[in-house]
């Protein structure tokens, strides 16, 4: 049985960056990935600037397109807003090449990988953890579950499902050149194109990533709203199309993010943004924070757990809480939202863009300010 300091399940941005930082700090690290790499990952592929600048190396080699302007539209409303920045607000990536690039950076620091290998069992022992895989068994001191919405680590580690999982449908689409040229100039979001949710148009190299999602857990025919969205953005002909359905965790776990020697990060922990459903930037950050907490407190698992919680409180959880308040207004209270948009819409768009850029966080007293203007929020 091979022994490692840290085992990491999942090779998405969270797992790869946890491995990078842990290996860089001298820990013996193994990545466990059930698929053959590189592998397609269902995702819009929009990396906001705050996630990009969090990476300690350039990713220019895997950037498909950069967008310095975004547009937000609201269905059945006169409101629409644009924001521009001198640096790319959103950079487009294909997750197969992007994730592989991050994994390679971790391997360069000394991490090892077991691909096409699934974790099938987990035993907590006095002196560490015993991981049973579809290949060889592994012993480790700490385990980071970065294995996404369907996290096997969480299931085997004793977590009950407490995240809010919302449905999404994403298409990689090739369209006639005229339509591509028309739609490839900007990133576009259409709020209310789906009940309690939005649609998006993300231009890539030679094709579009189009998608629809609802931020409310409900039974819904997303294919219908996708077809309606095609009409809205005036796409009448599709040359090629590949559909992918998936779930996005937009609510964090309620029963801790680490238990003993087992830590959860990224979607496994539920760190996607409740307002935008964007998850890559917090996946990158939470992977780094999990590695930091473990590396700096390696000899004391209790201290490592406490350190991880403190880091999450400081860097992720407060902002997600504020984002959930705005999401409630945006999707569940459209009448109130439209009143606020008429007064503060462009200012709000600029604040959110700054957050995407990593320039500022939500104001500390945002929740109280909003509640003073929207009495209904005193109940949440």
Same domain as 140, residue 92? yes
> For a pLDDT cut of 90, what percent of the chain falls above it?
74
- The verdict on residue 327 lying in a domain is no
- The verdict on residue 53 lying in a domain is yes
Same domain as 149, residue 269? yes
DSSP helix/strand/coil, 4:
strand
Same domain as 105, residue 35? yes
**Does position 378 have pLDDT exceeding 50, yes or no?**
no
Same domain as 237, residue 186? yes
Other beta carbons within 10 angstroms of residue 82's beta carbon come to 12
Residue 99, C-beta contacts closer than 8 angstroms, at least 6 positions apart: 11, 12, 13, 16, 37, 38, 39, 41
Mean pLDDT of 272-282: 92
- The verdict on residue 129 lying in a domain is yes
Same domain as 211, residue 125? no
pLDDT at 374: 54
8 Å CB contact between 295 and 24: no
Q: What is the mean pLDDT of the chain?
A: 91
> How much is the pTM?
0.92
CA distance 249 to 2: 33
Same domain as 15, residue 139? yes
Looking at 222, 248, 274, which one is the last position of a domain? 248
pLDDT at 8: 98
**Does position 360 have pLDDT exceeding 70, yes or no?**
no
Rg (CA), the chain: 21
* Selection from 263, 267, 270 nearest residue 164 by Cα: 270
Distances (CA, A) of 41 to 31, 45, 98, 243: 17, 9, 10, 12
Mean pLDDT of 31-50: 90
Looking at 248, 271, 305, which one is the last position of a domain? 248
Strands of the chain, DSSP E: 2-9, 29-32, 46-48, 65-67, 69-74, 80-84, 90-92, 112-114, 119-125, 128-133, 138-145, 165-174, 187-191, 197-203, 208-214, 240-249, 258-259, 262-264
Mean pLDDT of 36-65: 92
- The verdict on residue 330 lying in a domain is no
CA distance 114 to 291: 19
Distances (CA, A) of 367 to 178, 237, 336: 45, 45, 16
Mean pLDDT of 49-71: 95
Same domain as 270, residue 224? no
- The verdict on residue 73 lying in a domain is no
In tens, the pLDDT along 74-110 reads 887 777 899 999 999 999 999 999 999 999 999 999 9
- pLDDT band for 380, please (50, 70, 90 cuts): very low
pLDDT at 356: 85
In tens, the pLDDT along 262-272 reads 999 999 999 99
pLDDT at 117: 96
8 Å CB contact between 32 and 85: no
Same domain as 134, residue 144? yes
In tens, the pLDDT along 7-25 reads 999 999 999 999 999 999 9
Same domain as 197, residue 107? no
Which of 232-236, 347-351, 358-362 shows the lowest mean pLDDT across its residues?
358-362
Mean pLDDT of 136-146: 97
Phi first, then psi: what are they for 162, rounded to 5°?
A: -135, 5
What's the domain range around 222?
165-248
Mean pLDDT of 35-61: 91
pLDDT at 373: 56
- The verdict on residue 224 lying in a domain is yes
**Does position 369 have pLDDT exceeding 90, yes or no?**
no
Same domain as 44, residue 170? no
Mean pLDDT of 202-207: 94
Residue 222, C-beta contacts closer than 8 angstroms, at least 6 positions apart: 167, 168, 169, 194, 212, 213, 214, 245
- The verdict on residue 75 lying in a domain is no
Same domain as 344, residue 222? no
Q: Provide the domain count of the chain.
A: 3
- The verdict on residue 303 lying in a domain is yes
Same domain as 40, residue 7? yes
Looking at 248, 268, 302, which one is the last position of a domain? 248
CATH number at residue 21: 3.50.50.60
């Amino acid at each position: 049985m091979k022994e490692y300091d840290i085992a990491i399940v999942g090779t998405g941005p969270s797992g790869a960056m946890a491995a990078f930082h842990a290996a860089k700090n001298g820990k013996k690290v193994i990545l466990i990935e059930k698929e053959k790499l590189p592998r397609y990952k269902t995702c819009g592929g929009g990396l906001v600037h705050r996630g990009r600048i969090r990476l300690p190396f350039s990713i220019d080699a895997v950037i498909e397109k950069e967008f310095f302007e975004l547009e937000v539209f609201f269905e059945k409303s006169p409101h629409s807003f644009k924001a521009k920045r001198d640096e790319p607000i959103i950079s487009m990536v294909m997750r197969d090449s992007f994730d592989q690039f991050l994994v390679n950076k971790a391997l360069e620091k000394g991490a090892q990988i077991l691909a096409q290998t699934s974790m099938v069992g987990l035993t907590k022992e006095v002196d560490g953890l015993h991981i049973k895989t579809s290949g060889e068994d592994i012993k480790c001191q700490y385990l980071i579950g970065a294995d996404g919405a369907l996290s096997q680590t969480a299931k085997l580690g004793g977590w009950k499902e407490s995240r809010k999982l919302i449905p999404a449908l994403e298409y990689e689409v090739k369209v006639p050149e005229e339509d591509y040229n028309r739609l490839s100039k900007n990133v576009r979001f259409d709020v209310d194109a789906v009940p309690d949710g939005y649609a998006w148009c993300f231009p890539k190299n030679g094709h579009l990533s189009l998608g629809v999602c609802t931020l409310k857990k409900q039974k819904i025919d997303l294919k219908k709203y996708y077809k309606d969205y095609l009409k809205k953005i005036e796409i009448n002909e599709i040359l090629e199309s590949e559909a992918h359905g998936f779930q996005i965790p937009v609510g964090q776990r309620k029963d801790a993010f680490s238990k003993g020697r087992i830590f959860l990060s990224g979607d496994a922990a539920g760190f996607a943004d409740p307002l935008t459903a964007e998850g890559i930037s917090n996946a990158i950050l939470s992977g780094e924070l999990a590695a930091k907490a473990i590396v700096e407190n390696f000899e004391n698992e209790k201290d490592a757990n406490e350190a991880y919680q403190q880091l999450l409180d400081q860097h992720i959880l407060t902002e997600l809480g504020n984002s959930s308040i705005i999401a409630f207004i945006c999707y569940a209270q459209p009448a109130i939202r439209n009143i606020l948009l008429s007064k503060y819409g462009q200012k709000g768009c600029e604040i959110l863009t700054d957050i995407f850029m990593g320039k500022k966080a939500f104001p500390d007293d945002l929740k109280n300010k909003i509640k003073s203007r929207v009495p209904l929020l005193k109940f949440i």
